[in-house]
Structure 1
Amino acid sequence: MTDSQGEGGEEPSRGAAESVPPPVAAPGGPGDFSGGADSMFYGSAMPGPPAAGPGYGLPGPGYQPPLPYPPPARGGNTMLIVAGVLGLVVVLVVGVVIGFVASGGDGSSAAAGESAPEKQGPGTYSMSGVTNACDLVDPTPLTKWSPTPEGAPVHEETPQSPHSNGTLKCEVAYTSKTEDPLARFSLNEATMMVEAELADSEQALSHFCTKPARDHLQMGEISGLGTRGCWISELYGDLVESRTYRVEALDGNVGVGVRINLTREQGSPPVSWGELDAVARAQVRRTFDGLKQN
């Protein structure tokens, strides 16, 4: 007879008041939740409370109730935010492209209500309204060196044709001669020749600002006068000095040249190259203004 049998030899029923404690889970085995929340979150299934059945009563001292379900992962919200940002970027890029195309692709569109500044380029010139080239010339500065006009101004106009450039020319001369042939500085003279040549393009005026083949000439570039400009100077003579200064300039379809010649006796008041340059440049601008159409 075993210890589990009573005095009457009968085995007690499992439905009696005495209960059998639940089995203790082996560490790391099924039903062991002592690993904490991490072992539950990353397991293959979320365990629940032990099912009631024959021989099982209330949980024993080794049982731990399951933790509540973890909060929903936030990855879904992050993906929504990223998608929203990408959508906004796409909209902005499309807007920039549309604006770029609407402005002509050069990025020069002006703000709303404002007009883009016009680009300044070479002008367009015509001699159609000029009947006397000397109307474009101001000879007054020459009187500083020789006060008396010598003859009438000489002018020439050749209209432009499909086969040749149009040309304008005017020459004025002043002298220091008086009724007294022995008067001092009576050999001093000042002349100015103004020429303009009109063509279909600036390429047809390539001979402007080309240095003549003479060794004693000096030449240099000029800025701020048309699209291209230059000066040419020449000096020779002893007892009577001859000084020549010429300014040439191109702008659009016209080339203009102004040449000043001075004859000076020894002892005459000096004349600087700067004085001649100022007069010649002013006359070039005056000719441009007289021929310009826009």
Structure 2
Amino acid sequence: MRGIDNACDLVDPTPLTRWSPTPEHAPVHEETLPSGYSNGLLSCEVSYTSRTDDVLAEFSMNEAGMLVEAEIAAGTPSFGHLCTKPASTGVTIGEITGLGTRACWISDEFGDLVENIYYTVEVVDGNVGVRVRINLTREQGSPPVSRDEIDRVARSQVRRTLDGLHQN
């Protein structure tokens, strides 16, 4: 974690642009070094929109965002609790093998006129925890986005983050 001055250097936001092409704001990042009483934490948030000045433009309300969080612990990271959370209405949870020592995905889809998709991959790998949350808002009639497509982006980002943390 030392040597990482900007958590967003670990993030590739490019895949979000296929769902919403325009950056909504500059990436927001935070880095907290580990200390004797707390774990090290990194976070980066990126957001994209399809909004235009033309309120009647097709799919002008589509949005895509990603929050990447990492925790570096002296022992076991606190991440991983989502993997044991019971599923609720509209929420689906699944285990992931071959990624870290413990990993899962969580999908929550809701909405009528506008579909909201919240998709999270959470991984614990030794003393490192990584969580990638992708949030999509899709207008009715927008080209569909499959859970598999979102999952590929989230898992790729988890691997990228883990690789970057293990190199520092």
Q: Hey, what does 1:179 align to over in structure 2?
A: 53
Q: Hey, what does 1:20 align to over in structure 2?
A: none
Q: Does 1:165 align with 2:36?
A: no
Inter-CA distance 128–183: structure 2 relative to 1 (3 Å threshold): same
- For normalisation by structure 1, the TM-score amounts to 0.55
| Partner SS for 2:134 | strand
The root-mean-square deviation of aligned C-alpha atoms, in Å, is 1.6
- Aligned residue type for 1:277: D
Q: Hey, what does 1:249 align to over in structure 2?
A: 123
| Partner SS for 2:93 | strand
Aligned counterparts of 2:31 and 2:87: Cα–Cα separation in 1: 28
Q: Hey, what does 1:284 align to over in structure 2?
A: 158
Q: Does 1:137 align with 2:20?
A: no
Q: Hey, what does 1:261 align to over in structure 2?
A: 135
Aligned counterparts of 2:90 and 2:55: Cα–Cα separation in 1: 33
Contact map agreement 1:241 1:264 (CA 8 A) in 2: yes
Q: Hey, what does 1:195 align to over in structure 2?
A: 69
The higher-RCO structure (CA 8 Å, 6+ apart) is: 2
Aligned counterparts of 2:79 and 2:131: Cα–Cα separation in 1: 12
Could you list the runs of 4 or more consecutive aligned residues of structure 1 that deviate by over 4 angstroms after TM superposition? 203-206
Contact map agreement 1:208 1:250 (CA 8 A) in 2: no
Larger-Rg structure: 1
Aligned counterparts of 1:214 and 1:251: Cα–Cα separation in 2: 27
Structure 2 gaps, min length 5: none
Higher strand share: 2
In the TM superposition, what whole-angstrom CA distance separates every residue of 1:120-140 from its partner, at most 9, and x where no partner exists?
Answer: xxxxxxx11111100000000
Q: Does 1:154 align with 2:24?
A: no
- For normalisation by structure 2, the TM-score amounts to 0.94
- Aligned residue type for 2:83: C
